[in-house]
Amino acid sequence: MSFRMRFAAEDLLRCRFAISPLRETQAAIRTLSRPDRHGYHLPWLRQVRGAAAGLDLTPLRLLSPENGHGPDFLHPLPDAPLATLEDELDTVRATAPDIARRQMAAALAQTPGADRMRRGRAMLADPADAVRQLAALYEQVWAALLLPHWPRLRAVLEADVAYHARRLADGGMQRLFTGLHPKLSWSDGALTTTGHVPRLPEAGGQGLVLVPSVFFWPEAGSAFDPPWQPTVVYPARGIGGLWAETGPAASTALIRLLGANRAAILTALDAPSTTTALAHRHALAMSSVSAHLVVLRDAGLLASRRYGHQVLYERTPLGVALAGGGLP
């Protein structure tokens, strides 16, 4: 079965990317209990096993039916290209109790007996308190399971956005959508979904928000209920090497030319990245990485560009040649 989402001219002007720490947290929770999502994330699972065991995730799992849709108020759309968890949870906490109760009841009804369980009854009896507790639980999950790894995760997400933004610039919407996910395609001014991806509606002038995710793999999903802008969540590129401890080693010749740290940064920079992510990856001070990046950029080996509040660095053709062993 397939569904189509037709775009008018104004929709094309309102398509954007956004990175959502809250959606990444939600997807990480599902990864904990879904073996089909473990493939790329076994190193992370081993690292967080102890911390995860100390968290009571029952309320969140009750509201995440396997074959249904969770409460929309738990999935606020990021207003900025790179949202913070605090901003997203502020939106969650502002949910009116009547809306929260209605949406929680609809989610619980999709899991037989969930609305009659003690936790389910408690959430429906006091929806305002349930919203506060759910937001607090997300904060705990974020701090225990994702925050220590966020520079690495964010680097992959930012690199994915940069890659697809270039595809859009090079080939328009068709080139963009044909590279997002096998179940998504573009033809005749419409986005088509196939398989089990939820239905996409008419864009209606609202455009579309594209949200890359590390932990959502291997699925793609959508949300479009009013008042939210239509959204597609898709697996980010580059997760195959996400948990690798080290990148490719710099050649001896490159180390003699640039020095060990600059050679390592250039060699490992196979996708656009920020100063923060590089400092975390190479265990160097931010000030040192920043100085190395300036030298590499001034030498024509790197280019920099701004994405939101972040500056992304990527190799130039000359930098690619040197990092790939172009030196004799």
**pLDDT tens, residue by residue, 175-193:** 888 778 888 877 777 777 7
Tell me which of 113 and 303 has the higher pLDDT.
Answer: 303
- 266, 323 contact by CB (below 8 A): yes
Q: What is the pLDDT of residue 225?
A: 62
Q: What is the pLDDT of residue 76?
A: 87
Gyration radius (Cα) of the chain, Å: 21
Mean pLDDT of 160-184: 81
At 326, is the pLDDT very low, low, confident or very high (cuts 50, 70, 90)?
A: very low
At 300, is the pLDDT very low, low, confident or very high (cuts 50, 70, 90)?
A: very high
- 5, 230 contact by CB (below 8 A): yes
Distance set, CA 2 to CA 134, 198, 223, 272 (Å): 34, 9, 16, 34
The candidate with the shortest Cα–Cα distance to 108, out of 95, 96, 117, is: 117
Q: Which residues, at least 6 apart from 75, have a Cβ–Cβ distance to it below 8 Å? A: 22, 23, 26, 223, 228
Q: What is the pLDDT of residue 105?
A: 93
Tell me which of 327 and 88 has the higher pLDDT.
Answer: 88
The candidate with the shortest Cα–Cα distance to 194, out of 182, 209, 180, is: 182
Q: Where are the beta strands (DSSP E) in the chain?
A: 2-6, 16-17, 184-187, 190-194, 209-213, 221-223, 231-235, 302-307, 310-315
Strands 231-235 and 221-223, how do they pair?
A: antiparallel
Q: What is the pLDDT of residue 11?
A: 67
At 95, is the pLDDT very low, low, confident or very high (cuts 50, 70, 90)?
A: very high
Instruction: Give the whole-angstrom CA distance, residue 235 versus residue 41.
Output: 13
Mean pLDDT of 39-63: 91
- What value does the mean pLDDT of the chain take? 83
Domain 246-323 has CATH 3.30.2390.10: no
What's the pTM?
0.74
Tell me which of 270 and 141 has the higher pLDDT.
Answer: 141
- Token pair belonging to 182: 């096998």
Tell me which of 143 and 161 has the higher pLDDT.
Answer: 143
Which segments of the chain belong to CATH 1.10.10.10? Answer: 246-323
- 116, 105 contact by CB (below 8 A): no
Q: What is the pLDDT of residue 117?
A: 86
Instruction: Give the whole-angstrom CA distance, residue 116 versus residue 287.
Output: 55
What is the crossing angle of helices 127-141 and 97-108, to 10°? 70
Instruction: Give the whole-angstrom CA distance, residue 50 versus residue 307.
Output: 36
Mean pLDDT of 204-226: 79
Q: What is the pLDDT of residue 327?
A: 45
